[in-house]
Amino acid sequence: MIELEQKIGYTFRNRQHLETALVHSSYANESKTEISNNERQEFLGDAVLSVIVSDYLFKRVLLPEGDLTKIRAAVVCETSLAEFAGQIGLGNYLRLGKGEEANGGRNRPSILADAFEALIAAIYLDGGFKAAAKFVLPFASRSIEHIENASFHDYKTQLQEIVQKNPEEKVSYVLTGERGPDHDKWFEVEVRLNSNVIGRGQGRSKKAAEQQAAREALALMGK
């Protein structure tokens, strides 16, 4: 347990929350003594995770509601959560029934994803929302940035293709501001057509900010 606490960067005051998060229903069903499985904590963790990711997206990603919903769905899906669990080796700490163990349950995405949500709930129950968010956001923010870059990378290209139809026109991107500590920078960029500002964007990287500026420019052009 201490090793896992070190990995997740959180020390429990009530370690029972952590122990319950690691108990799969197959283990509880086979146990000769009554023991709680992690399904109720999984339910709570799912809700806490959704609020954390939604709050982050609302404050940091300047996209319409439909796009935010798609990004959130990708971050909290089983595949992503199983990957997060794998990054901390969560499967090694699970308590599984003999059958589930024999069938490779420690590496099963559904089990890992559920356990990760149960772990979020455990931290929330023990330390509150702020502690849960501190645990979740390093995973979620990296995932969000990757999704943004993969999904919205063509705005600059699309804008450039439009501008190239007029050889005398030139597009440039200008960094107008940055704030925050090194590990959590926030960049502001303007896109200019010749010397005229046609769009502004913000993002956790210069690239992301440029994409959002290009997106705004395209919207102003009716594209």
- Count CB atoms within 10 A of the CB of residue 222: 5
Nearest CA-CA partner of 212 in 69, 62, 68, 64: 62
- Give the single-character DSSP code of 152: S
Compute CA 77 distance to the chain's CA centroid, rounded to the nearest angstrom. 10
CB 106 within 8 A of CB 96: yes
Token code pair at residue 125: 């129950």
CB 27 within 8 A of CB 105: no
Helix (H) or strand (E) holding 172: strand 171-179
Amino acid (1-letter code) at residue 152: F
Q: What is the DSSP string of 27-86?
A: HHHH-SS----SHHHHHHHHHHHHHHHHHHHHHH----HHHHHHHHHHHSSHHHHHHHHH
What is the number of alpha carbons within 13 Å of residue 1 lying toward its C-beta?
15
Which residues are known catalytic residues? 46, 117
- Give the single-character DSSP code of 24: -
